[in-house]
Amino acid sequence: MPKGVFIAHWDDFRGLVVEHKYPTSIMLTEKDLNMVYYHHEKGRTGSLQYVELENMRVASLASSGRPLWIVVFVLDEGEEIEGQEDVLLGMGRYVLAMLAQHPEGVDVKDVLENQRMLHRPTPEQEYADIFLTPSSALLLERMEQEGIDRATRLAVWLNTQVQSEEIDIRAVAAPLMKSGVVRVEKVQGAGETVFLVRDVFAYRAPPVQALQYALETMVHIAEVYQDRVTEFFSPPPPEKGYNPTAATDDPNSPLLEDRQRIAEILRNGIHYEVVRCLRERPMTLAEISQATTFPVELVQKVLWALEAEKVTTHVDGGSLWVLLTDPTIEAFMPEFVLPDVFRKMKDRELDAKVVMRYLELLDEEWGRAE
Amino acid sequence: MIRNVCILGELGNVVYMKEYAESQTKDRLLDFLVNLSQFISNEEFDGKTEHMNLPSTRIYYTKRDSFTFVFVADRADDPAQIEEKTEQLVERFMKDYANLALASQPLDGFDEVVDEIAVTMVKVAILGFAGVGKTTTLHLLRGETLPLVHDPTIGVSIKKLPTEVENANIVLWDLAGQSRFSILWAKMIANAQVVIIVTDSTLENVLRSKKLVTLVREEVPDAKIIGIANKQDLATALTPERVGQILGIPTYELVAIDISYRDRLIQIIRRAILEGKSESKDRVS
């Protein structure tokens, strides 16, 4: 267990400023803070940085984007990092999420003593990054048409699409690679090749599990709850209800905007934890707070925000919160690209070796799963 | 310090906005302010200024007639001082600019009024390669005794200049010159109004320092850049004129270990700040 923690933020006029520390007896110099900042600028975003300072060893995690916050754990003498990396990362993620949403609720002592954590991103959260990274969703659409493409060709295509030569194809492709949606391999004779091995679809699912739970054990709210869900998904005509598969090419269509919202909700660690709780069953505010370990006032704010997005609603005179729609991103096998891939092989647009490798990758990914 | 000044009209439209330093991203801040203006539209302020806290900043707001006035300042700032400045700004705006704003006319001269009231801190960055005398220059400016042992700067050393310029505090950023810290330079000069490029006046160092001038011009195009030809007491020193020619920026001689240069250097910085301000006014007009 770390023996202390401090939180600092970067300020263009004052440098790294310490906002919280526990215990208050931790002594920090300007050099210490600068070394921590330096290692974060040098290192990889989202990963822990270990730094040996003059009088202490620290492990730290920084927020991505601006404003820059750094959570720094002061390690005990002789304390090994191995085995506690997940805990440190989890606590770091928790503090960073709290700072972004509910800064007045950050209690560093409580975080440290009770090991408050946000767990590592789930696959659906990683998929959400695709829709939140500029041009990544565009690249996915291209891969949905091609199935297989050369990295260089993709880069040229993307530059043309966004009409800029400064676009960093690696940054654009990163969420697709990290989430396992595409695989990039060097294939003999074909150079660096990108394969679509998973496709993803963002939509609002009916909250089946929570509804079932209400029907079985919370009969007094079941009917009202079911009516609300039905009203959203399949209201009586002439209303059309919710249909995420309606075809659209318009980038400003409500469906694409909704996909963006779904991705934002899933990527927000605090919102996501609240949604996860309500996927299981209806809960009171206090129960959600207890299950997520977030302060009641923060959970209340989140529930209101999610209510505005038609994700949650309250029943039973406001005492119970339920999921109205379940923001979901699912992955599936992109078998629809295969006929085109085979046609291209036949027309010698694609090398047989490349296609064979694609089938192997799909088999590795989906054959094993089945 | 005050980071943003914003005035919104009755419909949440932006009448005036100025960003002195990054607080939240501009679009998010604007969205937030428009919502805030709608939220407080029915509140009675009676000339009072309220505030609310964000992670590292505090938003001060008040309403006068149909206008909402918002200041974003650091949480470390004294609320009484910021409230006083907000009130000063409200008074000046209502007296001289409200009618222009209502008629959707340009608010000529208001930018200078805002600068006069809101600028409380000016950042001066001292940049140069290792061993050219940046930290010695910092000590000289602060009137401090020079340390006997050379202690290389780690990252950055941030200190205030004891002298104020037009009621604004001058914050000096002495950037580490070792090459491993070069990845920080671009971020650390952000929002600097003046960048001082220190050289040791040797030909090799001055030629290398040309790329620092390019970096500053790219990263902070609005900053005033001045060159320092330090170590003029050494026989190998190029003249300040020659150093200035090579760097392509106004350059001044210095012997940072000689206290008699202190006042001259402060005057140079003061002049650069004032010139920077007048250039920024020209750009606005």
Torsion angle of C-alpha atoms B134, B136, B140, B141, degrees rounded to 10: 30
Which of A56, A88, A113 represents a domain boundary (last residue)?
A113
For A27, left (φ over 0), alpha (ψ -120 to 50), or beta? beta
Place of tokens 């409580």: A110
The predicted structure's pLDDT at residue B34: 76
Comparing A125-134, A183-192, A195-204, A225-234, which segment has the lowest mean pLDDT? A183-192
- Residue-level pLDDT at B171: 94
Alpha helices in A102-246 (DSSP H): 108-113, 123-132, 136-146, 151-162, 169-178, 208-217, 219-233
* Average confidence (pLDDT) over A105-127: 91
In this structure, is residue A298 part of a structural domain?
yes
Say if residue B3's pLDDT is above 90. no
Chain B residue numbers touching A19 (CB-CB < 8 A): 55-56
Query: Would the pLDDT of A369 be above 60?
Result: no
Q: Is the predicted pLDDT of residue A262 greater than 90, yes or no?
A: yes
Q: pLDDT band at residue B121, thresholds of 50, 70 and 90?
A: confident
Asked if residue A84 and residue A20 are part of one domain, the reply reads: yes
- Is A93 in the same domain as A17? yes
Spatial separation of the C-alpha atoms in residues B191 and B20, rounded to whole Å? 8
Is the confidence at residue B81, as pLDDT, over 90? no
Q: Give the domain range for residue A337.
A: 123-198+333-367
- Nearest by CB to B171, which of A13, A34, A103? A13
Considering only residues B18 and A332, tell me which one the structure prediction assigns the higher pLDDT.
A332
Sign of the C-alpha dihedral computed for residues A362, A364, A367 and A370 taken in this order: negative
Q: CA-to-CA distance for A25 and A281, rounded, in angstroms?
A: 44
What pLDDT, on the 0 to 100 scale, is given for residue B219? 94
User: B184 contacts in A (CB within 8 Å)?
Assistant: 37-38, 41
Averaging pLDDT over each range in A185-189, A326-330, B274-278, which range is the top one? A326-330
In a domain, A134, yes or no: yes
* A191 and A339 assigned to the same domain: yes
Give the CATH number for residue A319.
1.10.10.10
Which range among A227-241, A251-265, A298-312 has the greatest average pLDDT?
A: A298-312
Residue located via tokens 């940085």: A49
Please report whether residue A118 resides in a domain.
no
Q: Residue A358 pLDDT more than 90?
A: yes
What pLDDT band is residue B46 in, cutting at 50, 70 and 90?
low
**In this structure, which amino acid lies at residue B273?**
I
Nearest residue to A266 (alpha-carbon basis) of A338, A157, A179: A179
Question: Where are any strands of DSSP class E within chain B?
Answer: 2-8, 14-19, 50-53, 57-64, 67-74, 121-127, 156-165, 168-175, 194-199, 224-229, 251-253
CATH architecture group of domain B2-118 = 2-Layer Sandwich (3.30)
Q: Could you give the CA distance from residue A270 to residue B222 in angstroms, rounded to a whole number?
A: 40
Residues of A with CB under 8 A from a CB of B: 9, 11-15, 17, 19, 30-31, 33-35, 37-38, 41-42, 66-67, 69, 99-100, 103-104
- Two tokens, residue B45: 């302020």
Percent of chain A whose pLDDT exceeds 70: 97
For helices A136-146 and A123-132, give the axis angle rounded to 10 degrees.
100
Beta B168-175 vs B156-165: how paired, if at all?
antiparallel
The CATH class of B121-284 is alpha beta
Q: What is the pLDDT of residue B109?
A: 86
Domain co-membership, A228 together with A320: yes
The reply to whether A324 and A347 lie within a common domain is no
Query: Is B51's pLDDT higher than 90?
Result: no
pLDDT(B27) > 70: no
Q: Using an 8 Å CB-CB cutoff, list chain A residues near B181.
A: 38
Residue B1 pLDDT: 77
With an 8 Å Cβ cutoff, are A67 and B22 in contact? yes
Quick one: A206 and A326 in the same domain? yes
Q: How far apart are CA A55 and CA A51, in angstroms?
A: 11
Looking at the predicted structure, is the pLDDT value of residue A370 above 50?
Answer: no
Residue of A7, A9, A10, A11 best to disrupt the B interface, most CBs of B under 10 A: A11
| pLDDT over threshold 70, residue B23 | no
Same domain, A67 and A128: no
Spans of all domains in chain B: 2-118, 121-284
pLDDT tens digits for A60-70? Answer: 999 877 678 99
Main-chain phi, psi angles of B141, to 5 degrees: -60, -35
Higher pLDDT, A81 or A99: A99
* Residue of A195, A202, A161, A164 whose CA lies nearest to A177: A195
Which position has the higher pLDDT, A168 or B142?
Answer: B142
Kindly state the average pLDDT of the residues A280-298: 95
Q: Are B205 and B127 in contact (CB under 8 A)?
A: no
Domain final residue pick, A48, A80, A113: A113
Q: Do A283 and A309 lie in a common domain?
A: yes
Q: Look at chain A and report how many structural domains it folds into.
A: 3
**A191 and A224 part of one domain:** no
User: Nearest residue of A to residue B23 by CA position?
Assistant: A67
Burial of residue A25, with CB atoms counted within 10 A of its CB: 0-12 exposed, 13-18 middle, 19 or more buried: exposed
- Establish if A175 belongs to a structural domain: yes
Q: Is the ipTM of this complex over 0.90?
A: no
Is the pLDDT reported for residue A48 higher than 70?
A: yes
